[in-house]
């Protein structure tokens, strides 16, 4: 814990004050919601340079253009989408009352109400996006929020906390900094909703903590996102696009391709094309400012450990470019057909390595995917419509991109989230607004109540039982 960090007591006081302000303010009109979203937009516009510089420093090398694209523009896109679309989402929706009350003038509707205060715990790999993208939809739904940036990127966390303190009334939006102990403190507080982005293991601890207060959770977790390259795919295009995905943030992205399944007779051609494509992005590793570094020594040792384990088990590993790791900048290591049980086949890679595994029949890849925890993303490359449908119908994943990797996660007009071990709940789009709203059904009874006249209230009339029996129909 650094001297700048907040204490759990300060967090508890902040949340209590936000909840009190929420109750006192009553309904949250569109203008208030728009003003809050706009403040978040203005924050990113005003502070984007120090934020980008902090991310570069925290990673020990992350291109400012990439940080702008991934974190600043990615967050702005979510905030602007929410700002420009939320108003119709707020409107109450008329629903059909049941018989016979519909005949007597009953009315029913669904009201989308803010829940209160939303806790948002972010990751280091996309340190702004994992805070501001959920914030966009939490604010659109009329909530207040407390952000908890990742301590793995401490400078970024501090700039976020200072910028939030400068731009927002803390009763609307605040940020608290700290490590796992602050993550635990956030998840132990009685928030009205909690968004956690991070690893599956920590996600379980977060949900356990949240259960003590019955806090509903959105868990944006990770996993080994599989990629199937069908025989009908253009091999060079598939390899180029997968290489471009691995090039992004050195593979440190939740939806990054992890295991790539390729038809056995195409495997060598695919590996060669993947190496060529990656080297075309990064002809050198050492000192290459375009190449994001692995965030710290611990994560580098983690990825290198998977690679050493695969080599020790006899797997072939190719490097592109054929250079050693320089500092924390790494070539892409391609692990070919590692044996079952290899750590790289068990753990999410989340770094500059990829597995390429051969198949004889695409059903083997589908079976392998289904034998593992549900992934966050799945990719299919190919022109065979029947095979594409077979893959879509016989697998489950948070989302899918076809003939590309990661693009579905950039959709604003569609939900983003995981399933099973890769998480629960969504943000993005109208589904994100609904996630952070309480969807409340209101039934307004008509003046006339037919139950007494129809013998439906005790003491029951002689026809009541027969009338009920008559309605038990197939």
Q: Which parts of this chain interact with ligand NAD (CB under 6 A)?
A: 121-126, 130, 148, 150-152, 179-180, 183-184, 187, 197-199, 202, 205-206, 220-222, 254, 348, 350, 376, 418, 423
Q: Which is nearer to ligand NAD, 305 or 339 (CB)?
A: 305
Would you say the C-alpha torsion 197, 203, 205, 206 has a positive or negative sign?
A: positive
* Residue at token pair 């690893």: 199
Residue 254 annotated in active site: yes
Cα distances (Å, whole numbers) of residue 312 to 164, 343, 352, 460: 48, 11, 19, 79
| Strands (E) located in 210-287 | 217-220, 225-229, 257-263
Question: Closest separation between CB of residue 45 and ligand NAD, Å?
Answer: 23
Question: Closest separation between CB of residue 338 and ligand NAD, Å?
Answer: 20
Cα distances (Å, whole numbers) of residue 140 to 29, 87, 313: 10, 8, 51
SS3 330: coil
Residue of 254, 330, 348, 435 marked active site = 254
Question: Closest separation between CB of residue 342 and ligand NAD, Å?
Answer: 19
Question: Closest separation between CB of residue 219 and ligand NAD, Å?
Answer: 8
Question: Closest separation between CB of residue 341 and ligand NAD, Å?
Answer: 21
| Token pair of 107 as six digits | 């009315």
Q: At what angle do helices 235-247 and 267-281 cross, to 10 degrees?
A: 50
Task: State in Å, rounded, how far the first CA of the chain is from the last one.
Answer: 64
Residue of 107, 201, 220, 348 marked active site = 220
Q: DSSP assignment of 41-68, as one string?
A: HHHHHHHHHHHHHHHHHHHT---HHHHI
Question: Closest separation between CB of residue 91 and ligand NAD, Å?
Answer: 29
* Residue at token pair 């391709």: 257
Cα distances (Å, whole numbers) of residue 67 to 57, 84, 325: 12, 24, 22
Torsion of CA 72, 75, 79, 84, to 10 degrees: 80
Question: Closest separation between CB of residue 198 and ligand NAD, Å?
Answer: 3
Kind of pairing between the strands at 217-220 and 193-197: parallel
Q: DSSP assignment of 412-443, as one string?
A: SSS-B---GGGEE--BSHHHHHHHTEEEEEEE
DSSP 8-state assignment for residue 71: I
Let me know: does 273 contact 241? Beta carbons within 8 Å.
no
SS3 332: strand
Question: Closest separation between CB of residue 98 and ligand NAD, Å?
Answer: 39
DSSP 8-state assignment for residue 345: G
Residue 330 annotated in active site: no
**Rama region for 250: left / alpha / beta (φ>0; ψ in -120 to 50; rest):** left
Cα distances (Å, whole numbers) of residue 437 to 138, 330, 425, 433: 8, 43, 12, 6
Question: Closest separation between CB of residue 399 and ligand NAD, Å?
Answer: 10
Cα–Cα distance for residue pair 129/53, rounded to 1 Å = 16
What backbone phi and psi angles, to 5 degrees, belong to 265?
-75, -10
Give start and end residues of each alpha helix (H) in 60-179: 64-67, 74-90, 129-140, 154-167
Catalytic residue numbers, as ranges = 220, 254
């Amino acid at each position: 814990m650094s001297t700048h960090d907040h204490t759990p007591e300060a967090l508890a006081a902040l949340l209590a004050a936000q909840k009190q302000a929420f109750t006192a303010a009553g309904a949250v009109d569109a203008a208030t919601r728009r003003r809050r979203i706009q403040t978040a937009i203005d924050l990113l516009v005003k502070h984007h340079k120090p934020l980008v510089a902090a991310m570069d420093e925290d990673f020990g090398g992350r291109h400012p253009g990439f940080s702008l694209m991934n974190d600043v523009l990615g967050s702005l896109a979510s905030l602007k989408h929410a700002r420009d679309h939320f108003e119709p989402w707020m409107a109450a929706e008329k629903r059909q009352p049941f018989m016979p009350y519909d005949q007597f003038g009953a009315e029913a509707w669904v009201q989308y109400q803010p829940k209160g205060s939303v806790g948002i715990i972010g990751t280091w790999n996309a340190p702004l996006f994992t805070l501001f993208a959920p914030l966009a939809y939490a604010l659109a739904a009329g909530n207040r929020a407390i952000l908890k940036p990742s301590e793995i990127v401490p400078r970024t966390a501090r700039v976020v906390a200072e910028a939030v303190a400068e731009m927002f009334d803390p009763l609307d939006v605040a940020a608290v900094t700290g490590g796992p102990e602050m993550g635990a403190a956030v998840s132990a507080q009685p928030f009205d909703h909690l968004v956690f982005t991070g690893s599956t293991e920590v996600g379980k601890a977060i949900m356990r903590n949240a259960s003590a207060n019955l806090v509903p959770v959105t868990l944006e977790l990770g996993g080994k996102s599989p990629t199937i390259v069908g025989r009908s795919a253009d091999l060079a295009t598939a390899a180029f696009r997968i290489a471009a995905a691995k090039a992004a943030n050195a593979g440190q992205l939740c939806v990054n391709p992890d295991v790539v399944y390729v038809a056995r007779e195409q495997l060598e051609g695919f590996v060669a094309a993947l190496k060529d494509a990656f080297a075309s992005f990064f002809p050198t590793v050492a000192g290459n400012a375009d190449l994001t570094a692995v965030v710290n020594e611990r994560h580098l040792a983690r990825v290198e450990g998977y690679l050493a384990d695969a080599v020790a088990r006899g797997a072939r590993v190719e490097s592109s470019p054929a250079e050693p790791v320089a500092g924390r900048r790494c070539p892409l290591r391609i692990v070919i057909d590692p044996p079952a049980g290899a750590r790289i086949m068990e753990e999410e890679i989340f770094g500059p390595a990829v597995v390429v595994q051969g198949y004889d029949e695409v059903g083997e890849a589908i079976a392998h995917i289904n034998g593992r925890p549900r992934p966050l993303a799945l990719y299919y490359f190919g022109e065979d419509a029947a095979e594409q449908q077979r893959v879509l119908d016989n697998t489950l994943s948070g989302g899918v991109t076809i003939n590309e990797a990661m693009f579905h996660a950039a959709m604003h007009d569609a939900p983003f989230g995981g399933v099973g071990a890769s998480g629960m709940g969504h943000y993005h789009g109208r589904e994100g607004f609904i996630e952070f709203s309480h969807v409340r059904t209101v039934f307004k009874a008509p003046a006339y109540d037919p139950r007494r006249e129809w013998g439906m209230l005790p003491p029951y009339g002689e026809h009541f039982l027969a009338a009920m029996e008559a309605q038990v129909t197939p």
